[in-house]
Amino acid sequence: MNNNDFLKIICKPWLDIDDIKYIANCGDSSARRIIEDIRSSVVESGKKLPPSKKIIVPTKLVLDYLSIDVNFIVETTRLLEEKGYVS
């Protein structure tokens, strides 16, 4: 995965299983576990998730769950583009 592909995914407001598999570099069962953990925490906090055909969760919660530093990714991408490297 490169930084640009990663940034395209995390620009979405909601992520599905395939998105999580990609950014977490995990398999189907791990991605489903991540989604279930996030969905449970949302419900336990008294909030609701919208009904949808696909199982989705807010991108921000996925990034928090995985402890991904978006600022680091953005800055690294910017530096690589300045230097002319392909990210």
Percent of the chain at pLDDT > 70 equals 98
Q: Residue 2's pLDDT is what?
A: 83
Identify the pLDDT of residue 13: 96
pLDDT recorded at residue 86: 59
Burial environment of residue 35 by CB neighbours within 10 A (0 to 12, 13 to 18, 19 or more): buried
Band of pLDDT at residue 87, cut at 50, 70 and 90? very low
Estimate to the nearest angstrom the gap between the alpha carbon of 37 and the chain centroid: 14
pLDDT band at 44 (very low <50, low <70, confident <90, very high): very high
Cβ contacts of 24 within 8 Å, gap of 6 or more: 30, 31, 34, 66
Q: Are 61 and 38 in contact (CB under 8 A)?
A: yes
pTM recorded for the entire structure = 0.86
How many structural domains are present in the chain? 1
**Host domain of residue 8:** 3-83
Distance CA 78, CA 7 (A): 12
